[in-house]
Structure 1
Amino acid sequence: MSSSKIEELLGSEAERLLKHQCHTISKDLLSKPSPGFIEKVFQNSNRSAQVLRSLASLYNHGKLSGTGYLSILPVDQGIEHSAGSSFAANPIYFDPENILRLASEAGCNAVATTVGTLGILSRKWAHKIPFIAKINHNELLTYPNKYEQIMFGSVENAWNLGAAAVGATVYFGSEGSNRQIMEVSSAFERAHELGMATVLWCYVRNNDFTKKKVNYETAADLTGQANHLGVALQADIVKQKLPEHNAGFTAIGFGKTDPAMYDKLTSDHPIDMCRYQVANCYMGRIGLINSGGSSLGEGDLEAVVRTAVINKRAGGTGLIVGRKSFQRSMEDGIALIQMIQEVYLDKSIDLA
Structure 2
Amino acid sequence: MMPTTEELLGNEAEDLLNHECSTISKEQLYVPSPDFVDKVYKSTDRSPVVLRNLQSMFDHGRLSGTGYLSILPVDQGIEHSAGASFAPNPIYFDPENIIQLAIESDCNAVASTVGVLGSVARDYAHKIPFIAKLNHNELLTYPNTHDQIMFGSVEQAYNMGAAAVGATIYFGSEESDRQIQEVAQAFQYAHELGMATILWAYLRNPAFKTDGDDYHLASDLTGQAIHLSASLQADIVKQKLPKTNGGYTAVNFGKTHDKVYSELTTDHPIDLTRYQVVNSYMGRAGLINSGGGSAERDLNEAVKTAVINKRAGGMGLIMGRKAFQRPMKEGVEIIQAVQEVYADESITLA
TM over 0.5: yes
What is the Cα deviation at residue 21 of structure 1? 0.3
TM-score (norm 1): 0.98
Provide the residue aligned with 2:37 in structure 1. Answer: 38
Distance in 2 (alpha carbons) for counterparts of 1:147 and 1:340 = 31
Provide the residue aligned with 1:141 in structure 2. Answer: 140
* AA matched with 2:140: L
Matches within 5 A, 1:304-343: 304-343=302-341
How far does the alpha carbon of each residue in 1:245-300 deviate from its partner, in whole angstroms, 9 at most, with x for none? Answer: 0000100000101100001000000000000000000001110000000001x210
* AA matched with 2:77: G
Distance in 2 (alpha carbons) for counterparts of 1:267 and 1:36 = 31
Matched, 1:66 2:68: no
* AA matched with 1:309: V
Distance in 2 (alpha carbons) for counterparts of 1:16 and 1:125 = 42
Q: Is the 2:79–2:139 Cα contact (8 Å) retained in structure 1?
A: yes
Q: Is the 2:202–2:239 Cα contact (8 Å) retained in structure 1?
A: yes
* AA matched with 2:210: K
The alignment partner of 1:10 has SS state of helix
Provide the residue aligned with 1:218 in structure 2. Answer: 217
**Count of aligned residue pairs for this structure pair:** 350
What is the Cα deviation at residue 54 of structure 1? 0.5
* AA matched with 2:205: N
Distance in 2 (alpha carbons) for counterparts of 1:8 and 1:258 = 39
Distance in 2 (alpha carbons) for counterparts of 1:44 and 1:210 = 40
Consecutive unaligned residues in structure 2, runs of 5 or more: none
Matches within 5 A, 1:130-169: 130-169=129-168
Matches within 5 A, 1:18-97: 18-97=17-96
Provide the residue aligned with 2:185 in structure 1. Answer: 186
What is the Cα deviation at residue 241 of structure 1? 0.1
Consecutive unaligned residues in structure 1, runs of 5 or more: none
Matches within 5 A, 1:274-285: 274-285=273-284
Distance in 2 (alpha carbons) for counterparts of 1:10 and 1:335 = 16
Distance in 1 (alpha carbons) for counterparts of 2:233 and 2:9 = 35
Provide the residue aligned with 2:253 in structure 1. Answer: 254
What is the Cα deviation at residue 208 of structure 1? 1.3
What is the Cα deviation at residue 146 of structure 1? 2.4
* AA matched with 1:155: V
How far does the alpha carbon of each residue in 1:212-233 deviate from its partner, in whole angstroms, 9 at most, with x for none? Answer: 2211010000000000000000
What is the Cα deviation at residue 144 of structure 1? 2.0
TM-score (norm 2): 0.99
* AA matched with 2:285: I
Distance in 1 (alpha carbons) for counterparts of 2:145 and 2:251 = 21
Distance in 1 (alpha carbons) for counterparts of 2:218 and 2:109 = 28
* AA matched with 2:331: G
Q: Is the 2:139–2:146 Cα contact (8 Å) retained in structure 1?
A: no
> C-alpha root-mean-square deviation of aligned residues, in Å?
0.9
* Match of residue 303, structure 1, among 301, 304, 316: 301
The alignment partner of 1:43 has SS state of helix
How far does the alpha carbon of each residue in 1:302-352 deviate from its partner, in whole angstroms, 9 at most, with x for none? Answer: 000000000000000000000000000000000100000000001110000
* AA matched with 1:265: L
Q: Is the 2:33–2:66 Cα contact (8 Å) retained in structure 1?
A: yes
* AA matched with 1:303: E
Provide the residue aligned with 2:203 in structure 1. Answer: 204
The alignment partner of 1:266 has SS state of coil
How far does the alpha carbon of each residue in 1:29-85 deviate from its partner, in whole angstroms, 9 at most, with x for none? Answer: 000100000110022210000000010011110000110000000001100100000
Provide the residue aligned with 2:344 in structure 1. Answer: 346
* AA matched with 2:78: I
Distance in 2 (alpha carbons) for counterparts of 1:332 and 1:43 = 38
Distance in 2 (alpha carbons) for counterparts of 1:283 and 1:190 = 25
Matches within 5 A, 1:100-139: 100-139=99-138
Distance in 1 (alpha carbons) for counterparts of 2:311 and 2:26 = 9
Provide the residue aligned with 1:264 in structure 2. Answer: 263
* AA matched with 2:21: C
Distance in 1 (alpha carbons) for counterparts of 2:40 and 2:157 = 25
